[in-house]
Structure 1
């Protein structure tokens, strides 16, 4: 057997000669083609990585050393066939390989790396030419050349399951742009973070990002909501695979089919149109892989939680031109709040068709349903203020008991079609149609009586049928790379069409008084809807959007990059209200918005990027807003200035970013200064709010088995203009000055503890205003939550009775010290919500 040191020395010695060197392990047992073995090859130089591959497999590799010199390999870990492992080692190198016999390989330059290398058969001499039907001169099957767009997607998916660190994100630019070249703050939560924290709600994973503050009261909430940089982020701020998706927030997405979360901070109208200015959360779902893989896990937890997940992916044909993925989740659970169940079922089938060497079509569907109760608030007295009767229990429910319901179902179907004209130009067309159904009857508190134990209540809901919304979104992007005036350009042009219609014509929305509730001796046995309703309303709403945008990323110098982009939006809104509405029965509005962005990135040294940017955003006001002059209100506008620094060190295993921003939101609606008009719901457009602050984020894979994610944010968000002068300079509700998070895991790699791991961290919030409105300001105390985890991962012996490759066991503990804290408040009287108490999740999983 050749010695490793000698081989490595020969590779580097011959690196500049253009010669080839053969790596071989003659005394090593040869791993058969297609067999699955464990690899643990860390990121390193490509020559050294190929040598490690040869040592592990016993395969002979003929390497053109002049082509590998100076090239790094991303490495490969975990169970792989030799072919898929070699494809991972060569990813991004511009090299391809050819099998000359069952265990001999020649590495050579190629048009694109292979995403599905296992289709390469013995006897193939060169990469397949798509023009000859994929057959060699001797009639044997040639390698399938996979479109470069899919190659990059597959590489990202593989990286997301192994590391906390992400190097690229498409959300900001709608192109595959390195994060270091993006002049805007963007953070990525990879699949590995989601799995190690055992996040069964998006909120758990997004807490790791600076500048994001929870708007979710607890894990039983039916909605997703956050504040980003001080401003709301919900229906207008969530996209799925780059397409606008308001249903995500209204049904509380489940991470079972999520590959990564990309958080783009600041107004994002230049790429995504109308939206609140805090930022965009892009949910990137899991897609098919070319190699077969299967996993299943079961999670048990306190509050009677039972949850199971299944994931299967692989090829559907021998040539691996048709790939699939199927993910399934089922959950049955109570919660720490009485009557608030957390039942979930979801299924997501995905199929990818490699239609040719340059064309890929992916079709994805989803059925997702959540059964729960609407969690209603508790009074300030007994939560954050003293109550003469004592503190309120965290389990107290102020809703309708067994008479209430809040069931939500989402159906999604869409496609993603991409085509590469050549190595420089490509086009991508994506579309999704979704339906959301809501079936709810619920209620909550109106006020607390002087005895501080009795609340008055209301009820509301759709007692005659489902409310249903339909949503269409289609985007077409043309991307080109070219050189002009001695500068490299990446040009993006695109257009987008959207339509949303909320159409509960069969539905009567009703609202009425309900029975009072004794907070310290609640009685849920009497029908709370026995009182007559006092209002009824039928309504229909629609929104249509047409937009076009253009963006140019220019390399002015090798270390100086400029981004300029602009988008034009046309938005038509229409609403029809029923006979009991106070506003006119029908409202229309037509708005236009121009959203620009300018950015500059300077890299004094390769691992460091200094950036600055300016951008504008817009959000049309509801056409039903009541203007005393009769004219429609102008859209809300937002402006952000940002400067920052991004760094990637330790061969891109450590990423850190520091940003300062100044963000203003204008044209907000405020009550009319005339009290008589304000009493009739008239408004004027004079409001302004401002948020500014500093954000720091770190993700790192510092050593084998050691991962860290941490963040800190200082946020100064306040009212700067309002008709009510008492509100000016008040801090926005539920936005602390300070928030910090830390999470770290370590998995032992060798010794008697090999396979075991542990993790832990903290989440800390400073004190907050409950809300800016109300006669008396109420302060919500800050809090610190400790979390912990234990892991055990064990590789199974071949031929075991389960047929599994690996068993994974994890125990996650949230709020380890059982802190009692208020996580959210909607007003200063009866809108306070406790956060989750100590929660234990025990998971057993198998990988096949």
Structure 2
């Protein structure tokens, strides 16, 4: 029935599009003769409209013949109205419409409408694309600030993935960093267009300084070819908007002693608007449903933007995140009997262990220069510095470390780390026409260096097999472990302590060019692109480098202004390092993605659907050797070749007045198609690749009463559902599978003028939820539970 209804809607929209109609074309300029981009042009009394492009051009297609009033508007500025008559089967070309503001004044007003919606039409500038999302030949999904606020998401690892198809979370490590899998592999982590992915990072971003999050599925040659072909997520931070002084303050209370406050200030540092600022502050204390577990944080994120002249803007951004948290292994439970069977609040952590402390600094300098109406230059440099002092917990690498009666020998390892990265980027965007062909041009250079130093060599066993003083998961006793608490030696610097065996570094250079050729008034778009990448990796005492040219070909066609279809072929390349028991050097990861999709905007762009089908082939991936012993040298095995196939559906936007929806479904099938070592269980042809769910569905629905006595009252709710879940890593003979996953959340809110109160209950059904894997060498299972039923209440005030 639902398929029939969707087909009927599609047929009606198609018939409407081919009925007799006319078009309106024109250009909007400022009083000083400059093009006026991002201006809304609509027909008064109707929902039909358009937005001017970078050259100030607009076009309204398939308008019913008649007389209309054209409304030209820009948020924060006075609207202008123009009369127009539309004839059947003709295009009405209007003379340039002049806004009384000059280009300088227009630039000072930034469209911030995306913060009030569940859907946006353009990717961020940091993705480097000029093409609207509906015309881009790839599945790109944007999670807006409005969605994050409604769901009370407070960090990147706190429920973000429910808003994008096929995403799953892996090893939590106490909210230290976020590891997200999509399309059968790890999604590379980006921030403002820079690849900050590391073996143990980056530190999960707090949402207080995040504007929105972009998920790019599959390889992204225009962003990165030295990465996993499964995709990326790009965290875009808040910037000054150019408005007069305004701000927002919020306070959140929640279960498990959550106390959180944020402050967002935005405005001009002097009245002309040449110097702008944005400041985001956050402070939080949070315990856990698990005993003796906590995560206290604060962040400071100032941004200053200076308009050097009418065409050039320099922006400086600094972010500090400080974390004081319990032992990073405190979330794990271990048992030989399979998953579960212990209370959800169980932790193997001990209250006498020192906290793990992290200071994460980043500084970015961004220069944007408008060369002319058609060309723009962007240059960006960044420095990231992550320092960690702490410890982790795991069963000891000793006989009988985990036993059938629930006894465990806990081992604490030092977990100090230094993670420093430097990035440089410069790229140019062009939008020009040669004859009848439109060219959206992108070209640029990427440079980056990363270095991770880790000290996990020192260890201390808390419990004693000699005196039979174990920790028992069924009868836990905390405090005063048999062997006392560790005292780690930090008299030497982290570099000396790490040594070659715990040093991971990478240096890369990327040079890329992309031309999107638009034919037949840009109804058909052909993307031709390529990237040359050179990468050198040094890891665990071994060094490898490589270079490769990777092509990208995309084709996108507009059936009508609201509907497009696309096809894409893209490649990726990543040299890799690791230790293989045979002593041979691992080969670089290579991969390609073939993708087809259909995108559709509904009801004048208020909501959107994206359907994508893809196949990704990945060669030479590394995975941990199942025979590794904790605390000793960690070897890897090469998987040969994997193939991931899937179908994705994403829906987001405003379905009706006051009713907003984010929903998605993904079918994922990832298997080994060629094996380099068929003797290893889990590495044979046909074996499933770990880290995904075959069926993954999510939804979040929000409704706010628009009028009447209950105006401003709202209700929202959603679910997450996964079946056929694979584990975190390769298992062993007889490994138990993970059960299906279902979580239900929901709540209510009320907003009036500048005040909003939001209350949500998470895991309403109080289900015992967890994810985990089997540790073949130790012969036991390990897993992490999720929070039982819990509540958050937020008060937000804007000014």
TM range (shorter): 0.7 to 0.9
> Which of the numbers 296, 312, 316 marks the counterpart of 2:265?
312
1:298, distance to aligned residue in structure 2 (A): 0.5
Which of 569, 574, 579 lines up with 2:538 in the alignment? 574
CA deviations 1:795-826 (Å, max 9, x no partner) are 2xxxxxxxxxx111110111111111113446
Q: 1:835 to 1:484 in 2, by over 3 A?
A: same
Q: 1:163 to 1:785 in 2, by over 3 A?
A: same
Q: 1:832 and 2:795 equivalent?
A: no
Equivalent position to 2:409, from 452, 456, 473: 456
Question: Which of 581, 596, 601 is the aligned partner of 1:648?
Answer: 601
Instruction: Write out aligned runs for 1:760-799 (5 A).
Output: 760-770=717-727, 771-795=729-753
Instruction: Name the structure 2 match of 1:363.
Output: 316
Partner of 2:698: 741
- Alignment check: 8 A CA contact 2:731 2:773 kept: no
- 1:594: how far off? 2.2
Change (3 A) 1:197 1:570: same
* Equivalent position SS for 2:228: coil
Native 8 Å contact 1:461 1:510 kept in 2:
yes
Unaligned runs of 5+ in 1: 1-14, 19-42, 51-67, 77-83, 91-106, 114-125, 129-142, 386-390, 578-585, 796-805
1:283 to 2:235 alignment: yes
| Residues 253 and 607 (structure 1), Cα distance of their counterparts in 2 relative to 1, 3 Å cut | same
Q: Which moved more, 1:722-731 or 1:635-644?
A: 722-731
Q: How far does residue 231 in structure 1 lie from its aligned partner after superposition?
A: 1.0
Residue 684 of structure 1: how far off its partner (Å): 6.6
8 Å CA contact 1:695, 1:714 repeated in 2:
yes
What residue is the counterpart of 1:556 in the other structure? Answer: 519
Determine the C-alpha separation between the residues in 2 that align with 1:670 and 1:216. 15
Match of 2:139 among 157, 164, 185: 185
The Cα of 1:719 is off from its aligned counterpart by: 2.1
**How far apart, in 2, do the equivalents of 1:782 and 1:72 lie?**
52
| Separation in structure 2 between the aligned mates of residue 301 and residue 17 of structure 1, nearest angstrom | 53
Name the CA distance, whole Å, in 2 between partners of 1:161 and 1:672: 45
Listed as ranges, the matches of 1:262-661 within 5 Å are: 262-291=214-243, 292-373=245-326, 374=328, 375-380=330-335, 384=339, 391-446=341-396, 449-462=402-415, 467-503=417-453, 509-515=457-463, 516-526=470-480, 538-539=499-500, 540-557=503-520, 558-575=522-539, 586-622=541-577, 624-626=578-580, 628=582, 632-661=585-614
* CA distance, structure 1, for counterparts of residue 141 and residue 25 of structure 2: 42
Residues 94-141 of structure 1: CA deviation (Å, up to 9, x unaligned): xxxxxxxxxxxxx99578x7xxxxxxxxxxxx655xxxxxxxxxxxxx
Task: Report the alpha carbon displacement of residue 75 of structure 1 after superposing the two structures with TM.
Answer: 8.3
Task: Give the Å deviation of 1:775.
Answer: 2.5
8 A Cα contact 1:445 1:830, kept in partner: no
Is the contact between residue 734 and residue 824 of structure 1 (CA under 8 Å) also seen in structure 2?
A: no
Contact 1:269 1:618 in 2 (8 A): no
Superposed CA deviations along residues 37-83 of structure 1, whole A, max 9, x for unmatched, are xxxxxx98354599xxxxxxxxxxxxxxxxx968676886xxxxxxx
Partner of residue 198, structure 1 = 152
Equivalence for 2:9 = none
Q: Is the 8 A contact 1:792 1:809 kept in 2?
A: yes
Q: Deviations over 1:564-612 (max 9, x none)?
A: 111111112235x6xxxxxxxx432222132221110011222111111
Specify the SS of the correspondent of 1:160.
Answer: helix
Spell out, residue by residue over 1:432-474, the C-alpha distance to the aligned partner (whole angstroms, 9 max, x if none): 1110011111212357644431012322114xxx532221111
Assess, with a 3 A threshold, how the Cα gap between structure 1 residues 163 and 449 changes in structure 2: closer, same or farther: closer
In structure 2, the CA distance between the partners of 1:499 and 1:682, relative to structure 1 (3 Å rule), is: closer
Between the two structures, name the one with larger relative contact order (CA 8 Å, sep ≥ 6). 2
Q: Secondary structure at the match of 1:192?
A: helix
Structure of larger gyration radius: 1
1:845 is aligned to 2:796: yes
- Is the Cα contact below 8 Å between 2:626 and 2:730 reproduced in 1? no
Q: In the alignment, is the contact (CA less than 8 A) between 1:144 and 1:319 conserved in 2?
A: no
* Contact 1:146/1:358 (8 A) holds in 2: no
- 5+ residue gaps, structure 2: 1-22, 27-39, 48-66, 82-93, 464-469, 490-495
Aligned to 2:213, which of 261, 285, 291?
A: 261
Secondary structure of the structure 2 residue equivalent to 1:733: coil
Show the counterpart of 1:118.
Answer: none
Give the 3 Å change call, closer, same or farther, for CA 768–529 of structure 1 in structure 2: farther
Residues 354 and 672 (structure 1), Cα distance of their counterparts in 2 relative to 1, 3 Å cut: closer
Aligned residues: 699
Which secondary structure state, in structure 1, belongs to the residue aligned with residue 208 of structure 2?
Answer: helix
SS of the equivalent of 2:421 reads strand
Deviation at 1:269, TM superposition (A): 4.6
Change (3 A) 1:265 1:257: same
Cα gap change, 1:748 to 1:502, in 2 (>3 Å):
same
* Closer/same/farther in 2, CA of residues 399 and 620 from structure 1, 3 Å limit: farther
**Aligned partners of 1:759, 1:636: CA distance in 2, in Å?**
43
TM-aligned CA deviation for residue 171 of structure 1: 7.5
Q: 1:383 to 1:355 in 2, by over 3 A?
A: farther
Q: CA-atom RMSD, angstroms? A: 3.3
Distance 1:780 1:698 in 2: 28
Supply the distance in 2 between the matched residues of 1:564 and 1:255 (Cα, whole angstroms).
Answer: 36
**2: CA distance, partners of 1:461 / 1:17:** 66
Kept after mapping to 2: 8 A contact 1:230/1:735: yes
Does 2:757 match 1:809? yes
* SS of residue paired to 1:198: coil
SS in 2 for 1:564: strand
CA deviation map 1:293-341 (0-9, x unaligned): 1111100011011000101101111111211111111100101111210
Flag the 1:635–1:748 CA change in 2: closer, same or farther, 3 A: same
* Equivalent position SS for 2:223: helix
- Kindly state the Cα deviation for residue 709 of structure 1 after the two structures are TM-superposed: 0.7
Q: Is the 8 A contact 1:492 1:552 kept in 2?
A: yes
Distance change >3 Å, CA 649–CA 361, structure 1 → 2 = same
Question: Does structure 1 conserve the Cα–Cα contact (< 8 Å) formed by 2:668 and 2:692?
Answer: yes
Q: Which residue of 2 aligns with 1:227?
A: 181
Q: 1:532 to 1:311 in 2, by over 3 A?
A: closer
Task: State how far apart, in whole Å, the 1-side matches of 2:655 and 2:487 are.
Answer: 64
Distance 1:201 1:17 in 2: 44
Structure-1 separation of matches of 2:153 and 2:300: 18
Residue 202 of structure 1 aligns to a residue whose secondary structure is: coil
The structure-2 alpha-carbon separation of the partners of 1:70 and 1:378, relative to structure 1 and needing over 3 Å to count, comes to: farther
Displacement of 1:553 = 0.7
Stretch of structure 1 that moved more, 554-563 or 653-662: 554-563
Q: Which residue of 2 aligns with 1:175?
A: 129
User: In 1, Cα distance between the equivalents of 2:636 and 2:246?
Assistant: 58
Structure 1 residues 326 and 652 mapped into 2: Cα distance closer, same or farther (>3 Å)? Answer: same
